[in-house]
């Protein structure tokens, strides 16, 4: 089962846009808002996410829910395997056909989240050959605010959803802000629409340059 939503493309050249951030930072909300905006503008859009809803992605999600306990390196290798399949099955075909990809989590998630318990250089190495996004947005929200959002949205927390862990992951994201080209750190601790407007303006600028 695929995770993407497809629209008939009207643009000839699509962008690959990735949203990143600690849990509760709003990347899922902003991904959906951007997909809706671009679709209304006439662009063909694929909204997708990692981990995916395919077999490897479902295995990862069960670990995040504490249903089994892989060691940290094994978990990040699963994320990488899921990404490889995701690129082959969803991302590359969509980009080849001229669609724009809006991806809720991608490469930086493996490096930032994984760096809590695994070597960051190793995590970079196992992701080194994957396609880089055209634009990466890192949504910056204080961990305490994210935990408040998480507790309000669901009754239980997942593997990384502890304030101290989120603090470390946030710092890892800051250290990665220059790792990929066209990475923008966005203040996500604002009204949803205000965040969206800033993102929209950046994306429109890149679309005009394509």
- The count of other CB atoms within 10 Å of the CB of residue 73 is 15
Spatial distance between the Cα atoms of 21 and 183, rounded to a whole number of angstroms = 12
Q: 131-148 burial string, b = 16+ CB within 10 Å, else e?
A: eebbbbbbbbbbbeebbe
Q: Cα dist. 32→27, 73, 186 in Å?
A: 9, 31, 16
Q: ω before 51 within 30° of 0 (cis)? A: yes
The greatest distance separating any two alpha carbons of the chain, rounded to the nearest whole angstrom, comes to: 46
Q: What pLDDT is recorded for position 169?
A: 97
Q: What is the pLDDT of residue 12?
A: 55
How far, in Å, are 95, 99, 200 from residue 35 at the CA level? 15, 11, 10
* Tens of each residue's pLDDT in the chain, 210 residues: 444 444 444 445 789 999 999 999 999 999 999 999 999 999 999 999 999 999 999 999 999 999 999 999 999 999 999 999 999 999 999 999 999 999 999 999 999 999 999 999 999 999 999 999 999 999 999 999 999 999 998 888 888 989 999 999 999 999 999 999 999 999 999 999 999 999 999 999 998 887
Q: Output the pLDDT for position 1.
A: 41
Domains defined for the chain, CATH in brackets: 5-209 (3.40.50.300)
Burial of 166 (0-12, 13-18, 19+ CB in 10 A): buried
Give the residue among 118, 106, 104 at the shortest CA–CA distance from 30.
Answer: 104
């Amino acid at each position: 089962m695929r995770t993407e939503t497809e629209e008939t493309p009207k643009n000839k050249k699509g962008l690959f846009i990735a949203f990143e951030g600690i849990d509760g930072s709003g990347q899922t909300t902003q991904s959906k808002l951007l997909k809706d905006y671009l679709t209304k503008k006439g662009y063909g859009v694929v909204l997708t996410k990692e981990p995916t809803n395919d077999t490897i992605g479902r295995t990862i999600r069960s670990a995040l829910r504490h249903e089994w306990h892989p060691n940290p390196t094994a978990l990040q290798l699963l994320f990488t395997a899921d990404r490889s399949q995701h690129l082959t099955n969803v991302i590359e075909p969509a980009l080849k056909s001229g669609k724009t990809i809006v991806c809720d989590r991608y490469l930086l998630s493996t490096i930032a989240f994984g760096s809590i318990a695994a070597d960051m250089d190793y995590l970079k190495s196992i992701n080194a050959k994957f396609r880089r996004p055209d634009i990466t947005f890192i949504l910056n929200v204080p961990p305490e605010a994210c935990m408040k959002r998480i507790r309000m949205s669901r009754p239980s927390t997942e593997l990384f959803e502890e304030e101290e862990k989120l603090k470390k992951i946030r710092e890892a994201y800051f250290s990665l802000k220059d790792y990929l080209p066209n990475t923008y750190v966005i203040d996500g601790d604002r009204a949803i629409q205000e965040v969206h407007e800033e993102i929209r303006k950046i994306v429109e600028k890149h679309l005009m340059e394509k």
